[in-house]
Chains A and B, each alone.
Chain A
Amino acid sequence: MSEAGYNYKIVRGFAFSALFWLVIGLVVGLWMAFEMFYPALNLTPWLSFGRLRVVHTNGLGLGFALAAIFSTSYYILQRLNRVALPFPRLAQAHLYLFNAAIALAALSLFAGMNTTKEYAELEWPLDIGVVILWVMFAINVFGTLIKRQEKQMYISLWYIIAMTVAIAILYIVNNLEIPVNLFKSYSIYAGANDANVEWWYGHNIVGFIFTVPILAMFYYFLPKATGLPIYSHRLSIVSFWALNFAYLWTGAHHLMLTPLPEWIQTVAMAFSIFLIAPSWGSVVNGYYTLQGNWDQMRSNYLVKFFIAGITFYGLQTIQGPLQGLRTLNAFFHYTDWVVGHVHMGTMGWVTMVVAASFYYMIPHITNTEIYSIKLANIQFWLTLFGQVIWTATMWIAGIQQGAMWKATNPDGSLMYNFLDTVSSLYPYYQLRFAAGLIFFIGILIFVWNLIMTVRKQPRPVEA
C-alpha cells in the first residue's frame, strides 16, 4: 500500500509473474534453437519442436508480455487516474487465475492440444478462461477510469483502452470454434476465410499486445524517468488514431500470393505502408522528448533502454511494411528473415521497454532504490548484443535460403534440393543459439537485480 492507498501488491505480483514466465519461455526457446541444428534433442513427444514452438510463443506472448502489461497497467491506471483500484479482490483473483491459466495452457500445449491457429493455439475451454480473465481486467480498467480524480486522460490511458477493446474483439472472433469434446474443436471458418480471419488476428494481436500497451508504458515511464514532458501532445493524438485505424487492414500481408483474393492482399499492402507514419509518430515523439537533454543517455541509465527500445520499434515498423510488399514478400516469406523480424520486436523493443519500466516502477512501489545500476547496465549491453546478433543472423540466413530456393541452373532446373537449403543454415542456427544464450544471461541478471531490489530494506518513510 502507498500514498493514496494504491494497490501495489497486484502490480508486484504481476511483475514477478512476468519475470517467471519470461525465464520459462526463454529456456524453451533455447531448447528449440538447439533442436534446429541438433534434432536428437527431440527426446520425447512433448519435447518435439512442433509442440515446443507453441509453448514458446504462448509462454512469452501470453505469459510474459500479458503479465507485464497487466502489472504496468494496474500501476499506470491508479497513478494517472489518482484513484485506487475499485475492485482489489477482483484484481487479486485475476492474478491467481492468470497464473493458473498460463500453467494449464503450457501443459495443454505440451500435451498437443493445439488448434494450430498461430498465437491462438489454446483449445476452447482455455479460450473461455482467457475471455473471463480479460473481463476481470477490463472491470478494473473502466472502474478506475470512471472513478478518476483527474480531468483528462493521459496518452497511456488511451492505449490501455484501445488494447482492452481490441483484444476482446480479436480474440473472440478468431477463436469461434465448435467443440468435439473437452480437448478438441474445429474452427467455424474454412480455408481462405479461416486464413484471413487468423492473420487479421495474428497481425493485430502483435499490434495490440506487443505495440499498443508497450507504447502506453513508453509514454508513461519515459517522462517519469527523465522528468521531461512528451514532446508533442498533438502528434500523439494523430498517431494514436491513425494507428488504431490502419492496423486492422493489414493482416493479409501475411498471406501474400496465397489463394486469398488478391484485392485483400493489395489493400493490406497499401495500409502496411501507411502504417509507417503513425508508428514513426511515436518514434519521433520519443526522440524529441529528449531534445536538449540527450546528456541523460549518459547520466540516466534508464534512458538507454527507452531509446534503444523505440529505435528498434522504428526499425521494426519500417522493415514490416517493406517485407509486406508483394515482390519482396515473394522472396522473404517462409524464411528465417521473418523470424529475425519478429525477434527484433520482442527482444529489442518489448523487452527493452518492459525492463526500463520495471526498473522505474519496482523500486517506486517497494519504496527503495534499485539494487544495482551497474548490473542493469551489464544487462543492457548483454540483451542488446544478444538481440542484434540473433536477428542479424536470422536475416542473413533468410536471404541465403530465399536465394537458394530461387536459384536455377542455365537450363532452368532448380539448383538446390530442399535439404541443401536447410543444412546450409546450420552454422547460422549455431550462432543464433549462442546469441540467444547471451540474451538469456542478460535476462537472468535483470531478474536477479529485481529480486534483490525487493529484498532490500525499504527507505524509512519521511515525516
Chain B
Amino acid sequence: MGITSKPVVFAVLSAAVILIGTTVTVFIPLFMPSTQPISSSIKPYTAVEQEGRDIYMREGCNNCHTQTVRPLRTEVLRYGEYSKPEEFAYDRPFLWGSRRTGPDLNRVGGKYPDSWHYTHLMSPQGMFEKSNMPPYAWLAKSKLDTGYSYKKCSVLGYGYSKSDVELQIGQYQATVTDGAYPSKVSRDKVTPPELRKELTEMDALIAYLQKLGRDVKQMEAKK
C-alpha cells in the first residue's frame, strides 16, 4: 500500500520535498537584487590581486581567517566597518570563512605597510612569539605564474583586455622591484636574489591582502 511500495514515486516525492526549501531560500534569491547589489566604488581585482587571491585559496587561508565583519560593537571596534554585500560582487568563490583561528581579514587592506606583511608571512613567530600561524616564507621563493592570468580574468568577467592584464602585471612588477619601493628592505630579506627582479607568489598575495576592504572605504565616504 501507498508510496512505500513504489520506490520511483518515493524518490520523486523526496526530491520534490527537498526542492521546496531549496527553491525558496536558495534558487529564488539567486535572481533577487538584494543578494547581488552593485556599487560603482567596488572595482574588480587586478590580475595580480586575483593571482594573490588564488594563492590565498590554494593555501587554504580561509580555514583560519574569515572575511566578514559582523555588525557587532566589539567587532567593528576590532576590525572596522562591518561588511556590505556590494563588496563581494567579484568574489568567486566567496571567502567569508567559518572559523577565526586568526583574525578577520576583510578590513586588512591598508592597515599595515607591505613590509609588515613580508616580515609577518616570512615568520609569524618572528613577529609574534605566541602566534600559531604557519610560516609562508616559501611563497617568496616561488616565481608567480602569470600564464593563466588573462584567462582567469576573462572567465571572471573583469573586462580586461590581454594588454590590460600585461600592463597590470608589468606595473606591479615595476612597483615592487623599484629601488624606491618603501618595503624594499623587507622584501629583499625574504626574496632570494635571483627573484628580486621578478614577481613572486608572496608579492601577489600581499597585493591581494592590501586590496581587501579598500574600495568600501570610498563607498562609505560617498554616502
Q: Which A residues contact B (CB, under 8 angstroms)? A: 35-39, 42, 45, 48-51, 53-54, 112-118, 142, 145-146, 148, 151-153, 157-158, 161-162, 164-166, 169, 173, 178, 180-181, 184, 186-198, 200, 241, 244-252, 254-255, 257-261, 264, 267-268, 271, 330, 334-336, 338-339, 405-408, 412-414, 418-419, 422-423, 426
Contacts and interface: CB of A to CB of B under 8 A. Distances in A.
B20 interface: yes
A258 B14 contact: no
Given A35-B132, A114-B58, A261-B29, A187 B92 contact: yes
B98 interface: yes
Nearest to A417: B78
B29 A414 contact: no
Given A164-B11, A169-B19, A158 B4 contact: yes
B98 A338 contact: yes
Interface stretch (B59-67, B165-173, B186-194): B59-67
A116 B93 contact: yes
A334 B63 contact: no
A259 B4 CA distance: 43
Contact of B93 (A48, A117, A268, A408): A117
B17 A245 contact: yes
Nearest to B138: A45
Contacts of B24: 249, 267
A142 B25 contact: no
Interface stretch (B110-118, B122-130, B177-185, B202-210): B122-130
Nearest to A81: B7
- Top 7 closest pairs, chain A to chain B, by CB: A50-B60, A191-B88, A248-B21, A42-B134, A249-B21, A145-B7, A112-B58
Interface string B52-92: 00100111111110101011101101100001110111111
Contacts of B7: 142, 145-146, 148, 153, 157, 161
B221 interface: no
A422 B101 contact: yes
Given A36-B132, A418-B78, A258 B96 contact: yes
B14 A190 contact: no
Interface string B19-53: 11110111001101011100000000000000000
Given A187-B93, A257-B72, A258-B68, A50 B101 contact: no
Interface in B147-173: 148, 151-152, 155-156
Contacts of B131: 39, 419, 422
Contacts of B5: 151-153
A9 B21 CA distance: 39
Given A39-B125, A153-B10, A49 B64 contact: yes
Given A161-B10, A422-B131, 18 more contacts: A39-B125, A48-B59, A48-B136, A112-B59, A153-B5, A153-B10, A169-B18, A187-B92, A189-B30, A190-B89, A192-B35, A193-B30, A193-B36, A248-B18, A261-B29, A264-B25, A271-B21, A339-B99
Given A180-B148, A192-B88, A247-B21, A115 B36 contact: no
A231 B48 CA distance: 62
A267 to B, nearest CB: 6
Nearest to B12: A165
A408 B78 CA distance: 11
A422 B29 contact: no
A165 B15 contact: yes
Contacts of A187: 92-93
Nearest to B34: A261
Contacts of B60: 48-51, 53-54, 112, 114, 116
Most A CB contacts (10 A, CB to CB) among B25, B59, B98 go to: B25
A252 B15 CA distance: 20
B29 A196 contact: yes
B8 A142 contact: yes
A44 to B, nearest CB: 8
B197 interface: no
22 contacts: A38-B132, A49-B63, A53-B63, A54-B63, A113-B58, A142-B7, A142-B8, A152-B4, A158-B4, A161-B14, A165-B11, A165-B14, A184-B54, A190-B94, A191-B91, A192-B85, A192-B94, A195-B96, A198-B93, A245-B20, A422-B102, A423-B130
Contacts of A148: 7
A50 B59 contact: yes
Nearest to A429: B132
Given A152-B4, A422-B131, A259 B124 contact: no
B195 interface: no
Contacts of A115: 57, 93
A418 B103 contact: yes
A267 B4 contact: no
Most A CB contacts (10 A, CB to CB) among B75, B85, B124, B136 go to: B85
B53 to A, nearest CB: 10
B151 A180 contact: yes
Given A258-B70, A414-B77, A194 B94 contact: yes
A148 B94 CA distance: 45
B47 to A, nearest CB: 13
B56 to A, nearest CB: 9
Contact of B25 (A248, A335, A336, A338): A248
